[in-house]
Structure 1
């Protein structure tokens, strides 16, 4: 008789809870007045166009930057990578907010410098913002693929007379299609799930339409739109899964040594991206802070964000531990883990719609902090699971077996051996959940208790009220907290690169 691991039961319960919001959406959509109407065509068209232009822009910006940061030996190359990845530290709705406020008649640029600028809004504005804040996905995934390629094919092509640009285009890029597709997938899913940017840019997409229906008490229609949005996301995932590339063994990396003029040219080409994505938001928030001061900001908003995010991080880690260990125990455990990833693929506004309905059916949960924390945990649980699983997979199984030989029960061996050794992964997973919960906007708007303002929701309220100057402090705090998450990610990449280079030297 096969004995199942103890982690299977709690992992199964977590997987079941992850499916409930989708089941609820189907039940709600059954009562919708219409499945599809002419307005849906506009929403679908705008959403698909935004997704397409986002991916196109992210690839056009991210792939060249991946080639530069992977192969070109630049002065202060580590600083280049940090600066170019920095847009990941800024939520896209902050970028949309500051670009909308800076450009156009009466914008901050015209008021400060007297220079007339065109208004940035609509499909163009939303696509520009999304491309600026999603290109790091493409850059980092493509760069990871580039760093593992063997340069021998490029050197052979150069020996046969092929120019370097053609070598990169015809020899290198076809070998990293999977990396480009992975980054493009992240950019596409981000564009589909983002609520703040289309709303600020006044572009009717699924997320904005769902929020309008929610505010109009049309939960059934909001659920129908949510299911349609999930169907589009599922189609994107299916298309990406059909893209394959050949696997090859890693080798010595290609190294390019540019001249001073080439370094200056690359700097000039990158400058507009850095100006629009990083320096402009920081400059606008700093200007507002100097001009308007703290405004109506209260420290309670920062405390609310910290408290709710900390609770979500702690609960997520407690829930993720059995799921992660079930995933490395067998095929059924891996299936349970995959089911829990459903919440991460569901946009925050869709998750909020389902949980609002659940809260209405369970009055003791409606408009409580507990329901908001549940939303955070269900959305960002995969971050904690992935981090803990990575730590657990690296453990030496002989330690647990030795504990069992010495008389420890499975539970005691887990508590005294496995759990302490996965503590680093638990802390990293908690940090990632904490930082993502701090940034989450739509789920917080829909599920936060009455009067419970966070940094993200306060920023949204002052935008709606037109008091832009009051957004300075929450905007800068959100950028600072998100920057900590970026530092965690890049420090992990740096350790990985060190390990690879160390192995190569051996």
Structure 2
């Protein structure tokens, strides 16, 4: 009788994972085994030009199409890593481990940028330096085009993740190891020989996160017409190849990337060094001395403007109204025009934002409940740790369009899911589940066994231990995981764009539709309004994450 709650909990976790991950993955593989169909102009509910679609879907560029897709994906991933990883690790070292002036402000700015979805990054950067922008008015030629544009925009979106993940590892370096090394070598060699080496697992995790983001998103690649595997799955599905054709394209990279993530995750769990107890206390802060303010000012100018430059572009564009093309009069910027644009955008964004917030809240609750239960079971069972690793690998490896397509294939015969907002909730939950697991796992794994054993000796059944001991001890991490999932779900596009039923309009879908008409004042106003809402929600998430990250010794 005492084991019934435990058995029920395991059953519910398995049922939830099957609903969200395992059955959609199986449905995709089964669909990929079916013969592919020809182009279907009505497959997506809109008329298309079969000849033009055939040209896009079969163009090879002189290579076999799978080889070209693989090459394009690898180029985008390698370029994004080369740009984001060195800058992010250097920033993490300076902001997390030194007393550089202005580091709190920069960490707050990077923390908010962490939750800005790729459609908004694309809106801002391409609006400033892309073909869709208007920086040509200042004599700047567009350079964010093609592969370079994809790499730069994706790297800027990935940079905050690199800083945060690397910074967590850097803060866990034991101070006595660094102090012992300082007796034998100068500080710069200690950074290289001790600090960075002891943080190698966290830096590798950051590199993996960058690779997943670069390989799995189609927002920027679709806008700049760079054909990666994620973009190809989206093209095949939306332009009439049918589910089987899209699934056939999606399964090989999904399996390859999933196996790679699983192997890297397993390797990281093994190579991560055992920490001394001091690693969970206050880390050593390196003093920069007379360089503290000059380095801080330089960082503020470079990083601050790097973050704010796209924002400047949006503000400039949102205020440029009026003008008459027939008379050769260009629009001009004015405060009244800027405020008018924001007022109009706020009214248009209200309903999509409310819808997105409601759906994201439901998705975050579902994802965090699953993630918490999975991490709780995994802390004491090697089999459940394998299940957790499999779930994280599958959900991270699946590009956004593939995740949406998998849910569509799994539930197209279930009308109360397929034709309802529930399908969007499932898509948001599937996309945010791995991040909830990654936020919760360190805390739940670190819950002291002696506390759990004492509760069991006192006669508490497993369900009561969870309710009265584990949940209160992990409340900060749970709140942080929910806030993170909510903000990420709020801006989710690649999966929900494919499967949102009629009548369900999200804010990311609104921005996506406006992106294809160019970054004009209307789109800039919508983007700024959305950024304000995400900054508000992201600020709450960062406050909760800061309590978990900045006080690791009290993380339980």
- Given the two structures, how large is their TM-score scaled by the length of structure 2? 0.77
2:404 corresponds to: 352
1:190-246 Cα offsets, whole Å, 9 max, x none, are 111122122223211112111111112322121122112213423542356446354
Q: Is structure 2 residue 527 aligned with structure 1 residue 497?
A: no
- State the Cα deviation string for residues 378-432 of structure 1 (Å, max 9, x = none): 3323445566664697484378548747xxx766776677667766555443333
For residues 315 and 501 of structure 1, what CA distance do their matches in structure 2 show?
26
Partner in structure 2 of residue 80 of structure 1: 106
Q: Deviations over 1:174-203 (max 9, x none)?
A: 332222111111111111112212222321
Name 1:15's counterpart in structure 2.
17
Change (3 A) 1:11 1:178: same
The 3 A distance-change label for structure 1 pair 368 and 498 is: closer
Name the CA distance, whole Å, in 1 between partners of 2:74 and 2:407. Answer: 26
Instruction: Structure 1: state its 5+ residue gaps.
Output: none
Aligned to 2:82: 56
Q: 1:261 to 1:129 in 2, by over 3 A?
A: same
Tell me how far apart the structure 2 counterparts of residues 95 and 283 of structure 1 sit (CA, whole Å).
Answer: 13
Give distance in 1, aligned partners of 2:67 and 2:123. 27
Q: In the alignment, what sits opposite 1:299?
A: 350
Pairs within 5 Å for 1:139-178: 139-150=163-174, 159-160=183-184, 162-178=185-201
Residues 428 and 199 from structure 1, CA distance in 2 versus in 1: closer, same or farther, beyond 3 angstroms? same
Of 131, 134, 141, the match for 1:108? 134
CA distance in 1 between partners of 2:295 and 2:352 (Å)? 44
Q: 1:439 to 1:285 in 2, by over 3 A?
A: same
Residue 215 of structure 2 corresponds to 192
1:287-308 CA deviation, whole Å, 9 max, x = no partner?
A: 3433351258242111211121
Preserved CA contact (<8 Å) 1:213 1:222: yes
Matched ranges for 1:153-302 at <5 A: 159-160=183-184, 162-218=185-241, 219-237=243-261, 238-239=263-264, 241-242=266-267, 244=271, 246-249=273-276, 250=278, 253-260=283-290, 263-265=293-295, 267-268=297-298, 271-276=301-306, 278-291=307-320, 293=341, 294=344, 297-302=348-353
Q: Which residue is equivalent to 1:488?
A: 541
2:484 matched to which residue of 1?
Answer: 432
**Distance change (3 Å), C-alpha of 1:345 and 1:282:** same
Match of 2:199, SS state, is helix
Residue 355 of structure 1 aligns to a residue whose secondary structure is helix
Give SS of 2:419's match: coil
Q: C-alpha separation between the residues in 1 aligned to 2:300 and 2:152?
A: 15
The offset of 1:487, in angstroms, is 4.7
The answer on whether the counterparts of 1:50 and 1:126 sit within 8 Å (CA) in structure 2 is: yes
Taking the aligned partners of 2:446 and 2:553, their CA distance within structure 1 comes to 18
Question: RMSD of aligned C-alpha atoms?
Answer: 3.6
**Conserved in 1, the CA contact under 8 Å of 2:100 and 2:295?**
no
Q: Is the Cα contact below 8 Å between 1:11 and 1:336 reproduced in 2?
A: no
- Tell me if structure 1 keeps the 8 A contact 2:476–2:547: no
Provide the secondary structure at the position in 2 that maps to 1:442: coil
Comparing 303-312 with 163-172, which one deviates more in the overlay? 163-172
How far off is 1:8 after superposition?
A: 1.6
Q: Following the alignment from structure 2 to structure 1, what is the Cα–Cα distance between the partners of residues 538 and 78?
A: 27
User: Contact 2:352 / 2:506 at 8 angstroms: preserved in 1?
Assistant: yes
TM-score (norm 1): 0.84
Q: Take 1:387 and 1:282, find their aligned partners in 2: how far apart are those partners?
A: 29
Which one of the candidate residues 159, 183, 188 is aligned to 1:135?
159
Name structure 2 gaps, 5 residues minimum.
Answer: 38-57, 322-340
Offset, 1:125: 1.2
User: 8 Å contact 2:123–2:527 — kept in the other structure?
Assistant: no
Counterparts of residues 417-456 of structure 1 (less than 5 Å): 426-456=478-508
Structure 2 Cα separation of the partners of residues 357 and 327 of structure 1? 30
Q: Per the alignment, do residues 15 and 107 of structure 1 end up closer, same or farther by CA in structure 2, a change over 3 Å counting?
A: closer
Between the aligned partners of 1:393 and 1:70, the Cα distance in structure 2 is 22
Aligned residues: 496
> Aligned partners of 1:159, 1:425: CA distance in 2, in Å?
38
- 1:440 offset after TM fit, Å? 0.5
The answer on whether the counterparts of 1:12 and 1:336 sit within 8 Å (CA) in structure 2 is no
Q: Which residue of 2 aligns with 1:122?
A: 146
